[in-house]
């Protein structure tokens, strides 16, 4: 402290420092009050048994995980192979979060692609964007695989590989 | 403090304690308004009346509304609409007023632009007014979520997704705003809080500031004549009411305003009783469903123009993703009109009809906004996408052109 700093300045600065620390701490608390609750975070796991759901090739089914739709498509022979497919016993699957990567509408399946009604975005059978405003492929949810059972929310090697293939 | 002998409960006693007379004079009977104005200058009071209607109808809706995803839809569509006495009336008044208030805000705003009432001393009025536009937009959006129908849900999903910031993928921010992985109960309840408490509180405070910012520079007039308010006020107070160019806010100006408010309320209640459907989208009478997106989703009419700037650029350009360009233009559109006082380079305050090039600019801007509004509602396919693209480009070009347009006018007039 310089010689010119007197007692009043010291009081003023102390007051400002205490108020700043208190203010910052309250902001942290208020920010955390808006975070997703522990119960919401804990409810983030869903299992899908690919052997049990009786997928028809070329017709995706939709499941719900963390309040979001999950598309599971068993590819037909004439759909192009993609490095990012989930391959189990020579069957090729597309597994993706069914929300348009533009602004989050659910694209609808039209014969061989997903088309989004909101802003016209299109995704092919591998979930890769082919037209319109979506900036990237459909997002791959983190999942682990045991046999034919997917556990969504649990990051495993298969989902990592699918995500890497689309990056 | 001077010793006050008079009782609080006497006129003089109250006045001595509160300076009520002086306050009334400053705010009302000696707040001078130019005579040379037209009905468009009544929009501020029309807005104040509409906002009051929103508050009163909102209070009655709040007493039965349940901000819980399991109960919200029925509390609106069953309890309020069918059980509560006049619940249907309060809902339709609230919904129609929310829609109509934007119509009046736009008229109010473009009156200001037309007559040059935003510049050279009146910038603070303009900025607080635009801040009100933004807070009213937030209030409109948060209120639209509350009935928890399909449009409520998907509007909430799409708009909160904007905060992912396109390619930035600020995923954590979206989940923080929603309080969950998807729009859900936490989202509904916090937007209820924003809609019924925080946003109205902010709006009321900004309205007070907005009124105050007008008090010192005074109201503009049709010819943008520079009036010496002190001289004209003296004339009026001396009894030369005919000669004076000003009138007091109360009772003269407000009595004219009330006439306009009367006409407006006839129009408003006609809508409330006979044509409320335009504010009640049929899609929103299906309960929210996270697993089905409606075939077409679109915002209410007053957000369509800026929504269209979001989806206008539908292909990648300049090495940027179409979505990011859309987001940037959309972000700019929200704040764009705040810039007007600073990019208008004409040193004079003049109405548009005395600034020939600006006059053309003004009407082209109106037409462009109307085109954006119409195409914002249509599905973005084929030729529609291109109209939206060019109208969006036109919107940006108009803003880029404003400094040159206003300079050219000033030069032609010899002011620069």
- Are A120 and A148 members of one domain? yes
Does A27 contact B at CB distance below 8 Å? Answer: no
Task: Check pLDDT > 60 for residue A161.
Answer: yes
Binned at pLDDT 50, 70 and 90, residue B23 comes out as: very high
- Taking an 8 Å cut-off on Cβ atoms, the answer to whether B181 and A68 are in contact is yes
- Are A31 and A51 members of one domain? no
Task: Determine the structural domain holding residue A8 and report its residue range.
Answer: 1-35
Minimum distance, in Å, between the CA of residue A134 and any CA atom of chain B? 6
Pick the CATH number of B31-297 from 2.40.30.20, 1.20.810.10, 3.30.420.10, 3.30.1330.10: 1.20.810.10
**The two three-digit tokens of residue B42, written as one number:** 């009544």
* Closest by Cβ to A34, choosing from B162, B190, B311: B190
Distances (CA, A) of B308 to A45, B92, B325, B329: 37, 27, 12, 10
ipTM: 0.76
- Chain Cα centroid distance, residue B230: 32
Binned at pLDDT 50, 70 and 90, residue B326 comes out as: confident
- Are A14 and A52 members of one domain? no
Determine the Cα–Cα distance for residues B216 and B224; give it in Å rounded to an integer.
Answer: 16
Beta strands in B203-354 (DSSP E): 246-248
Minimal-distance CA residue of chain B relative to A119: B380
Contact between B199 and B144 (Cβ < 8 Å): no
Minimum distance, in Å, between the CA of residue B175 and any CA atom of chain A? 7
Sign of CA dihedral B153, B155, B157, B160: negative
Position A39 scores a pLDDT of: 86
**The two three-digit tokens of residue A129, written as one number:** 């964007």
Beta strands in B166-319 (DSSP E): 246-248
- Are A80 and A120 members of one domain? yes
* Closest by Cβ to B181, choosing from A44, A119, A136: A44
Task: Check pLDDT > 70 for residue B170.
Answer: no
Task: Check pLDDT > 90 for residue A153.
Answer: no
Minimum distance, in Å, between the CA of residue A48 and any CA atom of chain B? 17
* Closest by Cβ to B179, choosing from A36, A106, A132: A36
**pLDDT tens, B271-315?**
999 999 998 999 999 999 988 888 777 889 999 999 899 877 777
φ and ψ of B366, to 5 deg: -60, -45
Minimum distance, in Å, between the CA of residue A3 and any CA atom of chain B? 41
**pLDDT tens, B181-222?**
889 999 999 999 999 999 999 999 999 999 999 999 999 999
- Taking an 8 Å cut-off on Cβ atoms, the answer to whether B323 and A134 are in contact is yes
Percentage of residues of chain B with pLDDT beyond 70: 98
Does B165 contact A at CB distance below 8 Å? Answer: no
**Residue A64's CATH number:** 2.102.10.10
Percentage of residues of chain A with pLDDT beyond 90: 17
Tell me which residue of A153, A155, A162, A160 sits closest to A67, measured CA to CA.
A153
Percentage of residues of chain B with pLDDT beyond 90: 79
- Are A56 and A116 members of one domain? yes
Q: Is B316 exposed, middle or buried (0-12, 13-18, 19+ CB in 10 A)?
A: middle
* Structural domain count, chain A: 2
Rounded to 5°, angle at Cα A126 from A120 and A132: 20
**pLDDT tens, A90-111?**
888 888 999 888 878 889 888 8
**The two three-digit tokens of residue B204, written as one number:** 């009321």
Does B290 contact A at CB distance below 8 Å? Answer: yes
- Are A49 and A30 members of one domain? no
Position B122 scores a pLDDT of: 95
Determine the Cα–Cα distance for residues A121 and A128; give it in Å rounded to an integer.
Answer: 11
Minimal-distance CA residue of chain B relative to A71: B291
Mean pLDDT (whole number) for B241-257? 94
Helix or strand (DSSP H, E) at A160:
helix A157-166
Task: Check pLDDT > 70 for residue B76.
Answer: yes
Minimum distance, in Å, between the CA of residue A99 and any CA atom of chain B? 10
Task: Check pLDDT > 90 for residue A7.
Answer: no
Minimal-distance CA residue of chain A relative to B388: A119
Helix, strand or coil for residue B15?
helix
Task: Check pLDDT > 70 for residue B167.
Answer: no
Cβ contacts of A136 on chain B, cutoff 8 Å? 167
Minimal-distance CA residue of chain B relative to A40: B180
Determine the Cα–Cα distance for residues B160 and B163; give it in Å rounded to an integer.
Answer: 6
Contact between B300 and B99 (Cβ < 8 Å): yes
**The two three-digit tokens of residue A2, written as one number:** 């310089």
Does B354 contact A at CB distance below 8 Å? Answer: no
More confident residue, A124 or B71: B71
Minimum distance, in Å, between the CA of residue A76 and any CA atom of chain B? 25
**The two three-digit tokens of residue B7, written as one number:** 């009782």
Task: Check pLDDT > 90 for residue B2.
Answer: no
- Are A22 and A83 members of one domain? no
Position A79 scores a pLDDT of: 83
Position B171 scores a pLDDT of: 63
Task: Check pLDDT > 90 for residue B79.
Answer: yes
Minimum distance, in Å, between the CA of residue B111 and any CA atom of chain A? 33
Helix, strand or coil for residue A65?
strand
Determine the Cα–Cα distance for residues B328 and B348; give it in Å rounded to an integer.
Answer: 32
- Are A51 and A26 members of one domain? no
Does B287 contact A at CB distance below 8 Å? Answer: no
**pLDDT tens, B113-146?**
999 999 989 999 999 999 999 999 999 999 999 9
Minimum distance, in Å, between the CA of residue A14 and any CA atom of chain B? 31
- Taking an 8 Å cut-off on Cβ atoms, the answer to whether B296 and A117 are in contact is yes
Rounded to 5°, angle at Cα B162 from B158 and B163: 125
- Are A72 and A14 members of one domain? no
Does B322 contact A at CB distance below 8 Å? Answer: yes
Position A119 scores a pLDDT of: 76
Task: Check pLDDT > 70 for residue B169.
Answer: no
Helix, strand or coil for residue A77?
coil
Task: Check pLDDT > 80 for residue B319.
Answer: no
Q: How many CB pairs under 8 A join A and B?
A: 92
Does A136 contact B at CB distance below 8 Å? Answer: yes
Determine the Cα–Cα distance for residues B295 and A116; give it in Å rounded to an integer.
Answer: 9
Looking at every residue in chain B, the average pLDDT score rounds to 93
- Are A22 and A56 members of one domain? no
- Are A70 and A134 members of one domain? yes
With tokens 């208008």, the residue in question is B344
**The two three-digit tokens of residue B411, written as one number:** 């030069």
Contact between B36 and B245 (Cβ < 8 Å): yes
Helix or strand (DSSP H, E) at A108:
strand A108-110
Does B324 contact A at CB distance below 8 Å? Answer: yes
**pLDDT tens, A31-70?**
999 998 988 887 778 888 888 888 888 889 888 888 888 9
How many beta carbons lie within 10 A of that of residue B243, not counting itself? Answer: 10
* Closest by Cβ to A35, choosing from B176, B183, B293: B176
Cβ contacts of A142 on chain B, cutoff 8 Å? none
- Taking an 8 Å cut-off on Cβ atoms, the answer to whether B322 and A118 are in contact is no
Binned at pLDDT 50, 70 and 90, residue B369 comes out as: very high
- Are A65 and A138 members of one domain? yes
Does B208 contact A at CB distance below 8 Å? Answer: no
Q: At what angle do helices B43-62 and B87-114 cross, to 10 degrees?
A: 150
Structural domain boundaries in chain B:
31-297, 305-416
How many beta carbons lie within 10 A of that of residue B363, not counting itself? Answer: 11
Binned at pLDDT 50, 70 and 90, residue A120 comes out as: confident
């Amino acid at each position: 402290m310089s010689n010119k700093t007197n007692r009043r300045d010291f009081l003023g600065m102390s007051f400002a420092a205490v108020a700043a620390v208190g203010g910052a701490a309250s902001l942290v608390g208020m920010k955390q009050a808006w975070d997703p609750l522990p119960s919401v975070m804990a409810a983030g796991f869903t299992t899908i048994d690919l052997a049990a759901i009786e997928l028809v090739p070329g017709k995706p089914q939709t499941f719900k995980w963390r309040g979001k739709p999950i598309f599971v498509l068993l590819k037909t022979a004439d759909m192009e192979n993609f490095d990012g497919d989930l391959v189990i016993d020579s069957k090729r699957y597309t597994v993706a979060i069914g929300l348009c990567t533009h602004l989050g509408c659910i694209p609808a399946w039209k014969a061989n692609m997903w088309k989004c009604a909101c802003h016209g975005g299109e995704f092919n059978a591998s979930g890769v964007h082919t037209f319109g405003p979506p900036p990237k492929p459909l997002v791959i949810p983190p999942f682990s695989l045991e046999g034919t059972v997917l556990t969504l929310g649990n990051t495993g090697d298969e989902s990592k590989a699918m995500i890497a293939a689309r990056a | 403090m001077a010793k006050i002998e008079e009782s609080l409960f006497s006129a003089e006693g109250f006045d001595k304690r509160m300076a009520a007379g002086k306050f009334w004079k400053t705010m009302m009977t000696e707040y001078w308004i130019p005579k040379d104005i037209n009905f468009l200058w009544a929009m501020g009071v029309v807005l104040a009346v509409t906002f009051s209607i929103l508050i009163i109808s909102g209070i009655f809706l709040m007493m039965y509304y349940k901000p819980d995803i399991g109960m919200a839809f029925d509390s609106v569509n069953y309890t309020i609409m069918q059980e509560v006495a006049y619940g249907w009336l309060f809902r339709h008044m609230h919904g129609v007023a929310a829609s109509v208030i934007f119509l009046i805000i736009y008229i109010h705003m473009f009156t200001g632009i037309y007559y040059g009432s935003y510049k050279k001393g009146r910038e603070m009025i303009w900025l607080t007014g635009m801040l009100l536009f933004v807070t009213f937009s937030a209030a409109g959006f948060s209120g639209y979520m509350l009935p928890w129908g399909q449009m409520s849900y998907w509007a909430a999903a799409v708009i909160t997704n904007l905060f992912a910031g396109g390619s930035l993928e600020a995923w954590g921010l979206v989940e923080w705003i929603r309080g969950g992985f998807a729009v859900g109960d936490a989202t509904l309840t916090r937007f209820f809080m924003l809609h019924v408490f925080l946003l109205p509180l902010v709006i009321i405070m900004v309205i007070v500031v907005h009124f105050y910012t007008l008090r010192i520079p005074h109201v503009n007039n049709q010819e943008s004549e520079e009036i010496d308010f002190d001289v004209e006020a003296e004339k009026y107070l001396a009894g030369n009411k005919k000669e004076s160019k000003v009138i007091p806010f109360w009772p003269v100006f407000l009595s004219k305003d009330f006439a306009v408010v009367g006409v407006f309320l006839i129009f408003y209640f006609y809508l409330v009783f006979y044509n409320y459907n335009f504010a009640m989208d049929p899609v929103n009478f299906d309960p929210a469903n996270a697993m089905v997106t409606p075939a077409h989703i679109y915002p209410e009419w007053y957000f369509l123009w800026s929504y269209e700037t979001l989806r206008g650029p539908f292909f990648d350009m300049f090495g940027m993703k179409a979505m990011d360009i859309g987001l940037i233009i959309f972000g700019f559109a929200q704040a764009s009109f705040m810039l007007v006082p600073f990019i208008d380079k004409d040193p004079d305050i003049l109405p548009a009809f005395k600034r020939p090039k600006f006059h053309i600019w003004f009407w082209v801007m109106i037409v462009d906004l109307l085109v954006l509004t119409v195409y914002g509602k249509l599905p973005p396919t084929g030729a529609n996408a291109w109209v939206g693209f060019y109208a969006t480009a036109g919107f940006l070009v108009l803003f880029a052109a404003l400094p040159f347009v206003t300079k050219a006018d000033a030069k032609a007039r010899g002011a620069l």
